[in-house]
Amino acid sequence: MSAAPKVVPEANPLFDKKLLQAFVDGVIKTLATIAQTEAKVGKPFIENELTEKGEIAGMVGMVAPPLKGTLLISFKREAIFHIMENMLGEKHTEINTEVSDAVGELTNMIYGTAKTALNQMGYNFEMAIPSVIRGEFILSKSTKGATLVIPFDLKNSSTFHVKVTVQM
């Protein structure tokens, strides 16, 4: 394995199209494989202030020295219920332990797919255990740095967001 790419302070890795594509591919492959769900990627954008509102999210810390960051996958209830119905063949109407477990597993699989691709590019992201945040929440970040936001649309007209924050 090659050494991690050199990080120039002015060159935030969020602007690397390969990093963006690794997370997009992680979402599309994971949802197609385990949930027979098609997700269409929207137009990614950078936000400087993360003030995420949601109902359930999976979050995992990302470490590849000298980079540190987080991956947050935030779902509105309509989006996660649609994915779970495709995945399990069951309708859900409330966010419960089963839904939380599914969000944790989806986050783990999406991160794992992206991590594999990124590590093949020379990064050295480590394994991490996702956490699930459930219930109405407002999440604000306490670190400096921008956040890459990748919106995804589902066939039931619901959306969810993948947010990658990297601090250098």
Least confident interval from 29-38, 143-152, 159-168: 143-152
Domains delineated in the chain? 13-167 (3.40.1550.10)
User: What residues contact 151, with CB distance under 8 A and at least 6 apart?
Assistant: 41, 42, 43, 44, 159, 160, 161
What pLDDT shows up at residue 55? Answer: 86
User: What residues contact 8, with CB distance under 8 A and at least 6 apart?
Assistant: none
Question: Which of helix, strand or coil describes residue 86?
Answer: helix
8 A C-beta contact, residue 46 and residue 147: yes
Q: pLDDT for 89-102, tens place per residue? A: 999 999 999 999 99
> Across all residues in the chain, what is the average pLDDT?
85
Of 167, 8, 139, the closest CA to residue 74 belongs to 139
What pLDDT shows up at residue 138? Answer: 64
Q: pLDDT for 6-36, tens place per residue? A: 444 446 666 678 888 999 999 999 999 999 9
What pLDDT shows up at residue 168? Answer: 63
8 A C-beta contact, residue 152 and residue 83: no
8 A C-beta contact, residue 9 and residue 127: no
What pLDDT shows up at residue 3? Answer: 46
What pLDDT shows up at residue 16? Answer: 76
Show the tokens assigned to 69. 């960051």
Q: How far apart are CA 111 and CA 51, in angstroms?
A: 22
Percent of the chain with pLDDT over 70: 82
Task: Please compute the mean of the pLDDT values over residues 49-67 and round it to a whole number.
Answer: 81
What is the pTM assigned to this prediction? 0.86
What pLDDT shows up at residue 146? Answer: 77
C-alpha separations of 81 from 15, 62, 109 in Å: 32, 27, 18
